[in-house]
Amino acid sequence: MGKNILIVYAHQSAGSFNAAAKDAAVELLTAQGCNVVVSDLYALGFKATATKEDITGEVKNPEHFCYGEETMVAWRENRLSADIVEEHKKVTEADLIIFQFPMYWFSMPAIMKGWIDRVLTQGFAYSSEKRYSQGPFKEKLAMLSFTTGSQESMFCSNGINGDMNVTLWPIQNGILYYCGFQVLAPQIFWAPPHITSEGRMAMLEGWRKRLEGLLSETPLSFAPLDDFDTSSGFQLKTEVKEKQAEAEFGLTVGHHLGKPLPPNNQFRPALCLSSA
């Protein structure tokens, strides 16, 4: 039986490179027998702001509204707004979620961040007991597929934009892995507006080739929850630090232990397509 794939897509133009990348994923994954669903956020008019309107009925504490706590209660009581409920259904059924978007301000467009804020509801997507390697979505895959406005050389450790590994850490660790997802290496399309049409075609062809074996790829490495001592404020356990003492690099981008960052911890350059 084919896998269920959800593509969360954020671009305003059907003629964009992001649209072409999304269409390639739909075509190639469908051809492999997958059931592919696309949440086209701009076409849906998806509401980006997290507000009281996301809850039907009365809120528990109108004097001091706390979105996370209120929506967790509403989720448990089946009182979330219809658009969130619909996206929850898609996430629940998905084996893999692909986020397709243009990078805005070193992150994602507001409409996609709004999807994150509203759909990855407390309780449904995470809790203080279930997060990171123990998160609710630990049996699911997720990945980023995005375009940049800057060239690859500008996103290296001595480039003006800084190391792309650092840029990706808050999204891949702080959102995807936090909810338990096994995170596949991102697909990065470097500055497609600034290369030739032949270069853009080569990018898409590389993406199509990757899609043929995407579901069998090994996820990126993150520190499991068991590496941290709950009695000491979730600090790395002594034995983990001792094991890393002689290592050349840190454990991850975020848990670097004062050492050089591990190379390619958040992306694999061979999968980040340029015009070459």
What tens digit of pLDDT does each residue of 19-29 get? 999 999 999 99
| Cβ atoms 169, 178 nearer than 8 A | no
Mean predicted lDDT score pLDDT of the chain: 94
Neighbours of 276 (CB within 10 A): 9
What tens digit of pLDDT does each residue of 162-197 get? 999 999 999 999 999 999 999 999 999 999 999 999
Place 273 in a pLDDT band, splitting at 50, 70 and 90.
low
Q: What is the DSSP string of 63-126?
A: TS--HHHHHHHHHHTT-B-HHHHHHHHHHHH-SEEEEEEE-BTTB--HHHHHHHHHHS-BTTTB
| Global confidence as pTM | 0.95
Query: Residue 238 is which amino acid?
Result: T
What tens digit of pLDDT does each residue of 67-95 get? 999 999 999 999 999 999 999 999 999 99
What tens digit of pLDDT does each residue of 190-205 get? 999 999 999 999 999 9
* Complete domains list, the chain, with CATH: 4-221+266-271 (3.40.50.360)
Q: What are phi and psi of 68, to 5 degrees?
A: -60, -45
Tell me the C-alpha distance between 252 and 263, whole Å.
Answer: 9
Query: Residue 74 is which amino acid?
Result: A
Structure-token pair, residue 139: 């049996």
Quote the pLDDT of residue 275: 40
| Cβ atoms 100, 22 nearer than 8 A | yes
Place 207 in a pLDDT band, splitting at 50, 70 and 90.
very high
- Helices 197-212 and 17-31: crossing angle in degrees, nearest 10, is 30
Tell me the C-alpha distance between 116 and 48, whole Å.
Answer: 9
Helices (H), the chain: 17-31, 41-44, 67-76, 82-93, 110-119, 164-171, 197-212, 238-244
